Amino acid sequence: MTEHVASERITTDGVDSPEPTPSSRVGRRRWPILVLAFLALVVLTRGLLVETFYVPSGSMEPTLSGGDRIAVWKPGADDVRRGDVVVFNGTKAFGPSRETSEPSGLSKAVRSVGDALGFRSGESDYVKRVIAVGGDRVRMDSAGKVFVNDTAITEPYARVQSAGPPFDVAVPSGRLWVMGDNRAQSDDSRGHLGDPGGGTVKADDVVGKVVGRYWPLTDVGGLPSDAAQDRGGNHD
How do the domains of the chain map onto residue ranges? 49-227
92 is catalytic: no
pTM over 0.85: no
pLDDT confidence of residue 14: 47
Residue 82 in this model has a pLDDT that exceeds 60: yes
142, with CB counted inside 10 A (0-12, 13-18, 19+), is exposed
Query: Could you tell me which of 194, 233, 231, 206 has the C-alpha nearest to residue 72?
Result: 206
59 is catalytic: yes
Which of the following is catalytic: 74, 97, 107, 128? Answer: 128
pLDDT confidence of residue 71: 93
Query: Could you tell me which of 222, 229, 225 has the C-alpha nearest to residue 71?
Result: 222
49-227 maps to which CATH number? 2.10.109.10
Which of the following is catalytic: 59, 107, 186, 189? Answer: 59
- Residue 60: what are its φ and ψ, rounded to 5°? -110, 15
Residues facing residue 182 across a β-bridge: 159
Extended strands (E) in 74-195:
85-89, 125-133, 137-140, 146-148, 151-152, 167-170, 175-179
Mean pLDDT of 153-175: 92
pLDDT confidence of residue 46: 61
CA distance 179 to 59: 9
Q: Are strands 146-148 and 137-140 parallel, antiparallel or unpaired?
A: antiparallel
With bands split at pLDDT 50, 70 and 90, how would you rate the model's confidence at 217?
very high
pLDDT confidence of residue 5: 36
